[in-house]
Structure 1
Amino acid sequence: MSRLTDGLRPGMRVFVPTLSTESSVFVDELRADPERASGVTFMGVQFPGIDRVDYLKLHPEARQQAFFMTPGVRAGLAQGRAELLSLDYVGIARHLAEGPPPDLAVAHLTTPDAEGWCSPGLASDFMPLAWRRAKRRVAHLNPRMPRTQGTFRVHVSELDAHVEADAPLNPFVEAPAGEVERRIGQHVAQLVRDGDTLQFGIGSVPLALAGELGGHRRLRFHGGLVASGLRTLWESGALDRDAPVTTGVVLGDVGFHNFIAQLPTLHMADVTHTHDPARVAAIPRFVAINAAAEVDLFGQINGERVGGTIQAGAGGLPAFAQGALSSPGGRLLVCLGATARKGSVSRIVPVIGEQGLCTLPRYLADAVVTEHGVAEFRHLSLDARAEALIGIAAPEHRAALQDAWRTLRQSV
């Protein structure tokens, strides 16, 4: 086989590389010969705002199995060509282990070293799980892919086919932090203790938080992905130089990729390691820092649906929440701006209704942070919890929330 797509046939289920390891070579082959995509179901954990390939646009008979909502998946659902599985990261891992195996797994790897081993480079989250069970395995071997160390590697002899090609990697640039994000970061930094193990994702809040943690020391990291905030922590001296930085995905530009390639403590692992609640619980003082779309006065967290439209998926939030709350001294910090739509909509809401989804139930609530402060309510009563949340809502929305709570309280 001279191309990665030569083995594609109608009816096949194909697991594709995503995030930083999207392969332009694989996609360009499909665009040059779109009939290869006819009748093929493409699988992969594509993340909205990061992954760029819309597999359903390659051919009118292409299909997709997805785990996060994207614009392409939304259109595919309307056309009956896509299916969206309602699973968090632990559930996706179980699905890949127990569901029908892929007919083909396509990986994007480094070129082989002197002994023939290829590194997964910037992403080792789900590909190892699909790779083990795939009936056939092919790879794009890219000299630009940084070589990283971890639990997964591929010997060139395992490959049914490969194409070696120099190609740009999928870049990721985070939006700069604004005043709201900086204030949230300041509040969170006051809750983080020297020696804590942190988990945080991407976006302007983690970026702002990293800048606020420069005076901390001996911090550690265990999470699903790393981005430029990690470099800020490293260069400020906040990270423990001897502790492993454990992650499944690296997101960033070429400069960050080069930094990661030289980071001696980086350890890449799949989601059965990074997102295992029991493994997380065994890490003392594990602090999970995550975002949400809205929080209601009972402490329920909606991290997926806004205005009746699904925007993302549960992701790693449930696993990290359970693990952090079982960790000795662990914390779960949920961060969000107090308002949306230029202040007209409060993101602290009376109760998650038919326009939202409950990603985390109220019994997993610990602390919520907005630019107006911190509501710590792990040990608070029903009424005290609502009062604390109203106290960190935008001032212009507090009276309406208090009125709504009085009405809700009558029917509790």
Structure 2
Amino acid sequence: MKRLADHLQPGARVFVPGLCGEPTLLLRELAQDPERARGVRFVGVQFPGIGSADYLGLHPEAQQTAFFMSPSVRQGLRERRAELLSLDYPGIARHLQQCPPFDLAIGHFSPPDAEGWCSAGVCSDFLPIAWARAKRRVAQLNSSMPRTGSAFRVHLSELDAAIEADIPLTTFSEAAGGSETELRIGRLAAELVRDGDTLQFGIGSVPLALAGSLTSHRRLGLHTGMVSQAARALDEAGALDPDAPITTGVALGNASLYEWAGRHPNIRFADVRSTHDPTGLAALPRFVAINSAVEVDLFGQVNAERNDGALQAGSGGLPVFAQGALRSPGGRLLICMAATAKRGTLSRIVPSLGAQGLCTLPRHMADVFVTEHGVAQVRELGLDDRAEALIAIAAPEHRAGLEEAWRAIRNRL
């Protein structure tokens, strides 16, 4: 067989990596020969808005098991060709360990070294778990994939097939600069970070703005699901502890970022059983998890998944990072978001989560909330003080309505 696609069979369950580990050769082959996707169930962890893979769009009889909502998965659910599992990252890891073995796992690796070992490069989040339990294993070997010190590597002798194809890795472009709202949020969040803290944050304009406000900090550590341009900015500013390991599962950015991550002596790529281990996170002193949300209510409940009734993503790593931060000695959980949406007409601080939302984090996990209007530290506050603190960081034009709504809620408690 001369193509990766030739290993696909109707009825097979096939694990495909996501993010920068997307099997670019397989996607190119299937675009040219979509019939190979007939009857195949693709399983993988794809982030919405990142990557180009649309396995359901390849063939009307292709199927998919997904963990994040996307337009393709939404259409697949309507057509009964997709299933969406409501699992966070540790739950996905358990699923991959306990589900029936995959008929096929497709990996994306660096070319072999002199001893025949291929590196998983800058993407080690879920592939190592599925790979160990697959009946057959095939690989794309790509010189664009940096060779890293990941704990996961494969030897040529364990591959059922390998094809060399030098195709650029999947990239992600982060918006540069940021709006004044995002810059303000970044500055306020940075004031809560202390020299020597270990940080977790993801991708996007707010983390970039935060990184820009942290450049004068020193001895920061990183333990995060992915490293992006924000991590590189901290590194190049001298804000990171030069002696501390950086633990992550994947790099996400452009080719220059992948080259930086691949040569960085402190970055250690590991799968989610390490990066998202609640016991390990809790053991990190002063672990600060910094994330976003769709909306927050006056009880401190966080909705990070559903907007106006429509699922936008999944819970991902937020629940376990939140647990780790709250259990860490001196740890903090920061939820950072703009105070409004729809050009200021909709408050993202709401009286209570309604039927159109989902509770990603319950109120007993509420800690610190940041908007462009201020900071609400609510972990130890009672009901009324907590609601008052959250109203104070809402947009001024929505505060009176929130106060009135809270009085009505308070009378029914």
TM-score range, shorter chain: over 0.9
For residue 127 of structure 1, what is the aligned residue in structure 2? 127
Q: Which amino acid aligns with 1:354?
A: A
For residue 114 of structure 1, what is the aligned residue in structure 2? 114
1:310-321 → structure 2 map (5 Å cutoff): 310-321=311-322
Q: 1:31: how far off?
A: 2.0
1:262-341 → structure 2 map (5 Å cutoff): 262-341=263-342
Q: 1:35: how far off?
A: 1.8
For the residues of structure 2 that align with 1:273 and 1:261, how far apart are their CA atoms? 19
For the residues of structure 2 that align with 1:364 and 1:379, how far apart are their CA atoms? 11
Q: Which amino acid aligns with 2:169?
A: L
Q: 1:141: how far off?
A: 0.3
Secondary structure of 1:379's partner? Answer: coil
Q: Which amino acid aligns with 2:23?
A: S
For residue 86 of structure 2, what is the aligned residue in structure 1? 86
1:157-236 → structure 2 map (5 Å cutoff): 157-176=157-176, 177-236=178-237
Q: Which amino acid aligns with 1:159?
A: L
For the residues of structure 1 that align with 2:298 and 2:52, how far apart are their CA atoms? 37
Instruction: Give structure 2 stretches of 5+ with no counterpart.
Output: none
Q: Which amino acid aligns with 1:145?
A: M
For the residues of structure 2 that align with 1:271 and 1:224, how far apart are their CA atoms? 8
Q: 1:208: how far off?
A: 0.4
After TM superposition, the structure 1 stretch with the greater mean CA deviation from structure 2, 333-342 or 1-10, is 1-10
Q: Note if contact 2:152-2:270 (Cα within 8 Å) is conserved in structure 1.
A: yes
Secondary structure of 1:57's partner? Answer: coil
CA deviation digits over 1:41-99, x for unaligned, max 9? 00000000112111011111000000000110001011111010000001000100111
For the residues of structure 2 that align with 1:308 and 1:369, how far apart are their CA atoms? 24
Q: Note if contact 2:51-2:171 (Cα within 8 Å) is conserved in structure 1.
A: no
For residue 250 of structure 1, what is the aligned residue in structure 2? 251
Q: Which amino acid aligns with 1:55?
A: Y
Secondary structure of 1:288's partner? Answer: strand
For the residues of structure 2 that align with 1:38 and 1:351, how far apart are their CA atoms? 45
For residue 368 of structure 1, what is the aligned residue in structure 2? 369
Instruction: Give structure 1 stretches of 5+ with no counterpart.
Output: none
Q: Which amino acid aligns with 2:98?
A: E
For the residues of structure 1 that align with 2:65 and 2:124, how far apart are their CA atoms? 20
For residue 25 of structure 1, what is the aligned residue in structure 2? 25
For the residues of structure 1 that align with 2:8 and 2:281, how far apart are their CA atoms? 39
Secondary structure of 1:29's partner? Answer: helix
Q: 1:186: how far off?
A: 0.6
Q: Which amino acid aligns with 2:75?
A: A
Please, what is the CA RMSD of the aligned residues?
Answer: 0.7
For the residues of structure 1 that align with 2:216 and 2:386, how far apart are their CA atoms? 31
Identity %: 65
For the residues of structure 2 that align with 1:404 and 1:340, how far apart are their CA atoms? 19
Q: Which amino acid aligns with 1:64?
A: Q
For residue 44 of structure 1, what is the aligned residue in structure 2? 44
For residue 404 of structure 2, what is the aligned residue in structure 1? 403
In the alignment of these two chains, the number of paired residues is: 412
Secondary structure of 2:324's partner? Answer: helix
For the residues of structure 2 that align with 1:29 and 1:237, how far apart are their CA atoms? 43
For the residues of structure 2 that align with 1:35 and 1:254, how far apart are their CA atoms? 32
Q: Which amino acid aligns with 1:22?
A: E
For the residues of structure 1 that align with 2:11 and 2:259, how far apart are their CA atoms? 40
For the residues of structure 1 that align with 2:254 and 2:310, how far apart are their CA atoms? 30
Q: Which amino acid aligns with 2:55?
A: Y
Q: What TM-score, normalized by structure 1, do the two folds share?
A: 0.99
Q: 1:26: how far off?
A: 0.4
For residue 10 of structure 1, what is the aligned residue in structure 2? 10
Runs (4 or more) in structure 1 with deviation over 2 Å come to none
CA deviation digits over 1:261-283, x for unaligned, max 9? 22110100000000011100000
